[in-house]
Chain A
Amino acid sequence: MADHQTYYVPEQSKWPIVATVGLGVTLYGAASIMVNGNQGESTGGSWFMFWIGALIMAYMLFGWFGSVIRESRAGLYSDQMDRSFRWGMSWFIFSEVMFFAAFFGALFYVRVFVVPWIGGEGDKGSTNMLWEGFQASWPLINNPDPQVYQGPKEVIGPWGLPLINTILLVTSSFTVTIAHHALKAGNRAKVKLWLAATIALAVVFMFVQGYEYAHAYGDLDLTLQSGIYGSTFFMLTGFHGAHVMLGTLMLFIMLVRIIKGHFTEDNHFGFEAAAWYWHFVDVVWLGLFVFVYVI
């Protein structure tokens, strides 16, 4: 009962409207950059708009999360509020899972149906009439029409850098868990150490990933434009990479907050949310490793 009486409802807040303006301006700017760019027009103004929007977004993020953190530390949040945050974060992660599901679905569909059809197998095998000489294979090195989409020379094998990256991410899931247990036990020094270790692993991961991309573009001609293999490869690893960055940023903020002395043994949802997110990023990677690189 007491829980319900103290459910905190902030009376007014400027952050939502700031966030709306920020997001709108950023995306409008981004769209103008692309459209003007495609038509060979100047994109200076669009970039300006994009950065203004991004700045507003950054201001909003600091402000909004800042006030949530202040409210939390002022003890305004009840257990019930905490549960709302938990539901919110869980369903948000679920929505992210479905976002990746769209791309995984695309990958499976292409591999199981489309490429064999074009190659002359299965129900729509007569399609091969249109692509004489095309042979189905995966990874797809020779595209149906190499004049339009020049295929890659080679693709990235799983057992080199990707394996290292897998080990890095799996390890980081453990280190963040150790940090969490340490936080629950009230051992702050240990939290800092293991959280910092997690972030370090994440940074190395991103570095390796960047190196791999450079290799793909520079040496293998594996690019976004190199047909469906490149398209699915970069879409999946790219969006995953972006999520790693976001997750790392979250963990970093948690580290700063720990250093500042935020959180208690039994009240540290911000930390847990970041950890959940990190595990999610890790699981997606495992899916990627298996379906994009290995199989």
Chain B
Amino acid sequence: MRVHAKRAVALAAGLLSPAVVMADWTMNMAPGVTGTSNQIFSLHMTILWICVAIGVVVFGVMFWSIFAHRKSQGAKPANFHENTVVEILWTIIPLAILVAMAVPATATLVEMYDTSESEVDIKVTGYQWRWRYEYINDDFGYFSSLSTPREQIENRQAKGENYLLEVDNPLVIPVGKKVRFLLTANDVIHSWWVPEFGVKKDAIPGFINETWTRVDEPGIYRGQCTELCGKDHGFMPVVVEAVPEEEYNAWVAEQRAAAETERQLTEKDWTLDELMERGEKAYASACASCHQPDGTGMPPAFPALKGSQIATEDMAAHIDIVVNGKSGTAMQAFGGQLSEVDLAAVITYERNAWGNNTGEMVTPKEIFDYKNQE
């Protein structure tokens, strides 16, 4: 009894503490770390103060009337109901204010639209529900998905500092260089936003939108997908690490090497256990959001794989649906998204986890052949 009570208290305290410790009453936009974000911030403040000023005047007159011209105070109504001069004035003055607002806004906008002369080009693709970053000049790319554990989301564990704003593989960019983003999406519209850069742009399937940034301070910057993109729209954060140039170059070299090793892994002879181990990870990051960690899915939208006919019997159909997806449903073609190794691993995993004990496995080579026979 006592133990339970203690545990409950500890859990409750753990659950509530972030709320208390981190009490945060941020009220305004952050100025951010780029030229664009600073310009936006100053535009924002200018307009805000203009509005406040107009508000003070308008509401001032109103409150004056409310206090001074009350019937209960014996106010007698005047009878005027027109005054051309005043009416013209209060048409012209706001117009002038608006023009004054539009000028700096136009300048900022023109600059934001200038994507020329970039030094690094990164293709950003939105998927349900993660991002893929491709360094088009350097020939490698990877996925970036939420890394907050389910337990925290479901309140079974205390929430971490960067709850919902943390990913497995952040985007890495060099400081001080103009980075151009080519945004697109694979399924529905997403929107890539990093508040501190002042960059937000929709990622639209079938089209490429361009935008850019130049970050001067190294650091980790966090944002989120801002276009409703289905179930896990709230769970696809953007994390960007801006690092000094040497560090960036080293990182790029490392990634290129890793991409090469990955290609070699396809050739290796894999055992069932190795595939299962790798498959579990790949499944958790790519598939679990729909089919659930325990493979039970969320019928009818997302079928269960546990005990599913495809995942227990027909191997060919299984490979086919994972590699090619099923058009018109949320089940995407993973053939282009995952490496051969991961595809083999995930399929093997699905055929052996959660009591689907078929004992069957498929090797990366087989997947490679399958893809290239078509």
Contact with B along A127-161 (1 / 0, CB 8 A): 10111000000000000100010000000000000
Question: In angstroms, how far is the closest chain B Cβ from the Cβ of A6?
Answer: 38
Is A124 an interface residue when CB atoms closer than 8 A count as contact?
A: yes
Since A126-B210, A130-B207 are in contact, a sample of 15 more A-B pairs with Cβ atoms closer than 8 Å, ordered by chain A residue number, is A117-B207, A118-B206, A118-B207, A124-B207, A124-B208, A124-B209, A126-B182, A126-B208, A127-B207, A127-B208, A129-B208, A130-B184, A130-B208, A131-B206, A148-B327
CA distance A124 to B184 in the complex (A): 11
What's the least CB distance linking B132 to chain A, in Å? 14
Chain A residues near B (Cβ < 8 Å): 117-118, 124, 126-127, 129-131, 144, 148
Nearest chain A CB to B336's CB is how many angstroms away?
12
* Chain B, range 224-247, C-beta contacts under 8 Å to A: none
Q: For residue A126, which residues in chain B have a CB less than 8 angstroms away from its CB?
A: 182, 208, 210
CB-CB under 8 A from A129, the residues of chain B are 182, 208
Residues of B at the A interface (CB closer than 8 Å) are 182, 184, 206-210, 327
Q: B115 — nearest CB in chain A belongs to which residue?
A: A126
Residue from A124, A127, A148 with most neighbouring chain B CB atoms (10 Å): A127
| Cβ distance A174 to chain B, nearest Cβ, rounded Å | 46
Q: How far is the CB of B200 from chain A (nearest CB, A)?
A: 17
State A130–B183 Cα separation when bound (angstroms). Answer: 11
Cβ of A115 to closest chain B Cβ, rounded Å: 12
Complex-state Cα separation, A117 to B208, whole angstroms: 9
Tell me the minimal C-beta distance from A34 to chain B in angstroms.
14
From B184, B208, B209, B210, residue with most partner A Cβ within 10 Å: B208
Cα–Cα, bound, A117→B210 (Å): 13
Can you name 7 A-B pairs with beta carbons within 8 Å?
Answer: A117-B207, A124-B208, A124-B209, A127-B206, A130-B206, A130-B207, A148-B327
Closest approach, in angstroms, between the C-beta of B247 and any C-beta of chain A? 29
Complex Cα spacing A130 to B210, Å:
14
- Residues of chain B within 8 A of A118, CB atoms compared: 206-207
How far apart are A227's CB and chain B's nearest CB, in angstroms?
Answer: 13
Q: Which residues of A contact B184 (CB under 8 A)?
A: 130
Nearest Cβ in chain A — how far from B329, in angstroms?
11
Determine the distance from Cα of A130 to Cα of B182 in the docked complex, in whole angstroms. 11
CA of A126 to CA of B136, assembled, Å: 13
Task: List, in ascending order, chain A residues with CB within 8 A of B209's CB.
Answer: 124
A280–B209 Cα gap in the complex (Å)? 41
* A residues near B207, Cβ cutoff 8 Å: 117-118, 124, 127, 130
Complex Cα distance, B325 from A148, in Å, reads 14
